Structure 1
Amino acid sequence: MEMQATTKNAIASNRDAWNDSAKHHKNTDQWRAHLSAVGRADFSCLDQTITSLLLSVGVDGKDVVQLGCNNGRESLSLFALGARSVVGIDQSSAFLDQARELASHSPHEPEFIEADIHCLSPALHSRFDVALITIGVLNWMPDIADFLSHVAKTLKVGGTLVVYETHPFLEMFDPDSPDPYRVDSSYFRVEPFVEDDAIVYEGKTEAKISPFYWFVHRLGDIVTGSIEAGLQIAHLKEYPHSNREEKYDLYENQQAQLPLCFTLTAIKRQG
């Protein structure tokens, strides 16, 4: 019971941290650019890596859910790939307000749902052909196997989970440390990182927010969790480019190159 309470509290605290941070994301060049661009039917902020993978999986004419959709920019981008319907799910009401604002400037009509992914309505079960998870979702989840079991429930039999995430190896390094190339944390770290600085993508802020918990999940845990959730791994590829904040770009183009991100696809089996 103590572990369950801790997990529940971490999820709630992370929600509060994102709600506290939302205002910092609107006064940015990126927000203004998205607000200006989403009016195009072919708007997409997805990079070539995930775009190519989604085209390979097949999104055209499909029902797609994005789990951890943030401000909805990526959910809106799925229409450019031909998605028939798109549902974005996030537990931050403040970021979903931003998602709906972006959608109001778009010719497309995604649905945005406020929910803890661990407590999804049965109406969302077995509904989608594709479930998308992108950068900055997995590490907010205290129990990766439990999280993936809920993700799998959203898929129809034969549906595909698509993941594009930062590589767990990157969690061993701190780009803000005096020596950013020195290993700073164990790959096998169990305790989450706990911080209270506002969560921003561009620049820095001195603002403080509710404490948030960042959990490290090894690649093996992600793969095994997918399999235990009834998903058959179809693709796993690691890349030398960073899809994280700009400060992590310093780890690119090294003579001894780290894997900086990965893509994974897994298909929901019968039964």
Structure 2
Amino acid sequence: MEMPTKEQAIASNRDAWNDSARHHKDNPDWPVLLSAVAQRDFSCLDDTLTRVLNEVGVDGKEVVQLGCNNGRESLSLFALGARHVVGVDQSAAFLDQARELASCSPHQPEFIEADIHHLPPALQGRFDVALITIGVLNWMPDIAEFFGHVSTVLKPGAALVVYETHPFLEMFDPEAADPFALATSYFRHEPFVQTEPIVYEGKVEQQTAPSYWFVHTLGDLFGGAIAAGLNIRHFQEYPHSNREELYDRFEQREAQLPMCFTLVAVR
């Protein structure tokens, strides 16, 4: 298969996410979420991310979430005391869901449709904290360029908080006959390509725009952040999964894999 250019991959990923949005909304969790966000202290953030955000300090701060999806995590930041929250995503369909959730919430986040590579000038140097959670970094063809754009939205001294799947986990296929056999190289260069809708559980047998999932090593992430003028202040790895339920089988092993990590970097 001929690999796309960076611009083609970004555009195709956007189309795939827009097409997938309806599948995320068409499940029993959606009305439950609509009801839950009505609570002032609503939060869907797990204990690991909540602890790191509290250590960084969100109370009274202006926070941006880059790759906010349907906005549920952006809304959760108000429970930690955020003064104002902006969610940025390139999927218009998921931002429609984010605005629907916000309409049921007592809080008033702002949601902006934008590709991280073309952020509006109004976001430059504006935020005290930036948040990136699972399922953002691997959609980026060039991780160093990505961190360069992230850095521009931060005030001097502001913090970037990342909570992501550990790249070591990309070496395994949880659906393989032997899910513990190494399936691909840690140093893989070509992206994983999917032509079915992007859903978190199961599969939807339907053709959609190709989506491209890029593998980045920890060295890629650290190097990209440092090159963007970000000073790494915290990095911790964890044995629990923050990914789809398929990956739960890798937990609680005698020879335990690293499954996710938190990173804090300061501009």
**TM-score, normalised on structure 1?**
0.96
Q: 1:117: how far off? A: 0.4
Q: 1:30: how far off? A: 2.5
In structure 1, distance between residues paired with 2:249 and 2:196: 22
Q: 1:34: how far off? A: 1.1
In structure 2, distance between residues paired with 1:240 and 1:259: 5
Give 2:222's aligned amino acid.
V
Q: Structure 1 residue 102 and structure 2 residue 101: aligned?
A: yes
Q: 1:122: how far off? A: 1.5
Q: 1:145: how far off? A: 0.2
Equivalent residue, structure 1, for 2:37: 38
Counting only pairs closer than 5 Å after superposition, residues 76-95 of structure 1 correspond to structure 2 as 76-95=75-94
SS in 2 for 1:209: coil
In structure 1, distance between residues paired with 2:65 and 2:220: 21
Equivalent residue, structure 2, for 1:47: 46
Q: 1:36: how far off? A: 1.1
Give 1:18's aligned amino acid.
W
In structure 1, distance between residues paired with 2:250 and 2:191: 23
Q: Structure 1 residue 182 and structure 2 residue 185: aligned?
A: no
Equivalent residue, structure 1, for 2:120: 121
Contact 1:90 1:115 in 2 (8 A): yes
Q: 1:123: how far off? A: 1.1
Equivalent residue, structure 2, for 1:59: 58
Q: 1:20: how far off? A: 0.6
In structure 1, distance between residues paired with 2:159 and 2:10: 26
Equivalent residue, structure 1, for 2:218: 219
Q: 1:201: how far off? A: 1.5
Q: 1:32: how far off? A: 2.2
**TM-score, normalised on structure 2?**
0.98
Equivalent residue, structure 2, for 1:256: 255
Indicate the RMSD between aligned Cα atoms, in angstroms. Answer: 1.0
Contact 1:134 1:163 in 2 (8 A): yes
Contact 2:196 2:203 in 1 (8 A): no
In structure 2, distance between residues paired with 1:104 and 1:242: 31
Q: 1:203: how far off? A: 3.1
Give 2:127's aligned amino acid.
F
In structure 2, distance between residues paired with 1:132 and 1:28: 27
Q: 1:179: how far off? A: 1.1
What do the CA deviations read for 1:217-268 (whole angstroms, capped 9, x no partner)?
A: 0011101111110000000000000000011100000111000000000000
Contact 1:124 1:154 in 2 (8 A): yes
Equivalent residue, structure 1, for 2:25: 26
Give 2:205's aligned amino acid.
E
SS in 2 for 1:197: coil
Give 1:108's aligned amino acid.
H
* Unmatched segments (≥5 aa) in structure 1: none
Q: 1:185: how far off? A: 0.4
Q: 1:102: how far off? A: 0.3
Contact 2:191 2:215 in 1 (8 A): yes
Equivalent residue, structure 2, for 1:236: 235
SS in 2 for 1:179: coil
Q: Structure 1 residue 210 and structure 2 residue 214: aligned?
A: no
Contact 1:236 1:263 in 2 (8 A): yes
* Unmatched segments (≥5 aa) in structure 2: none
Equivalent residue, structure 2, for 1:13: 12
Paired residue total: 265
Q: 1:206: how far off? A: 1.3
Q: 1:141: how far off? A: 0.1
Equivalent residue, structure 1, for 2:133: 134
Contact 1:17 1:198 in 2 (8 A): yes
Equivalent residue, structure 1, for 2:244: 245
Equivalent residue, structure 1, for 2:191: 192
In structure 2, distance between residues paired with 1:26 and 1:217: 30
In structure 1, distance between residues paired with 2:207 and 2:173: 20
Contact 1:28 1:202 in 2 (8 A): no
In structure 1, distance between residues paired with 2:203 and 2:191: 22
Q: 1:204: how far off? A: 2.7
